[in-house]
Copies of this chain bind each other. A is one copy, B any other.
């Protein structure tokens, strides 16, 4: 059942093509272990090559055992492993643990992909992660782009990140492992958004599932998927319009735009500066809009990560102070 669902997802979102060289990120937890096994089962059929990356975050004294576990797994499956090691606590002193973990992990994956000449990177996110993400963003306050949740496929720094398990429930992943007699580590601590995500995972989602809709995870995933289509269309329109504008956005032009497109263009301008809109929520975009529509000339809006938007005569100027240096181990 899990295998069939993964195949459907790969087919529907065109995650893999013949001759793809795929790097699979494996923590040793149930999701990534199941993902690796399934990809190994499909490898011949899909005509892809596989290798594995594992990063030791050194957050627990015995975390090196995770690495040994993944090493043994890879040697049993006959796959090459690249293991890395980072002292996350030390790194995180400069910012949040959550953000540090994310950046370090991604940097490690991209470096490894380059080393082993992979063109795609597979991550083990499941339908449960998707449902949690949608709820988390909804609770924190989000617009269309945030509610798209975790995308099945995403271009990032020249690589494709793919999530073949994104339509599989965690319970089906666990059933698969049990049925096949495959061992995995106990869910290694997920450092991202730890507090809120764990409460959603352990309290809110089970409550919604038991008392409101037994299919809540599938429903939230369907919503995210549908909103992604809407976002994709709007994004194309906004990108096309933005390409014709100057970097300092012309106020009269902004004022004439449909507000949906205007909000997206403001977001895209932030992406130009910081590479993403991480930590930019709906409230920030509304503040820039308020700057544009209602505040006097020379007002400024300060956003996270040192981004400043200034209202000048006839334009909005976006600048970024360097307050943050990305650290790679």
Interface residues of A (CB under 8 A from B): 138-144, 147, 196, 199, 203-204, 207-208, 211-213, 215-216, 219-220, 222-223, 226-227, 229-230, 232-234, 236, 258-261, 263, 282-283, 286
| Chain B contacts for A232, CB-based, 8 A | 258, 260
A216 to B196, CA, bound (A): 14
State whether A144 and B226 are in contact (beta carbons under 8 Å apart), knowing that A138-B220, A233-B261 are contacts in the complex.
yes
Q: Which residue of B lies closest to A141 (CB)?
A: B219
What are the residues of chain B within 8 A of A282 when measuring CB–CB? 222-223, 226
Q: What are 10 pairs between A and B in contact, CB < 8 Å?
A: A138-B219, A140-B213, A140-B219, A143-B223, A143-B226, A147-B147, A203-B211, A226-B263, A226-B286, A234-B234
- Least CB distance from A166 to B in Å reads 17
Q: Indicate whether A222 sits within 8 Å of B286 (C-beta atoms), given known contacts A144-B144, A234-B233.
A: yes
Residue in chain B with minimal CB distance to A220: B138
In the bound complex, how far is the Cα of B139 from the Cα of A236, in angstroms? 29
List the 5 closest A-B pairs by CB distance, nearest first.
A141-B219, A233-B260, A143-B226, A229-B260, A230-B260
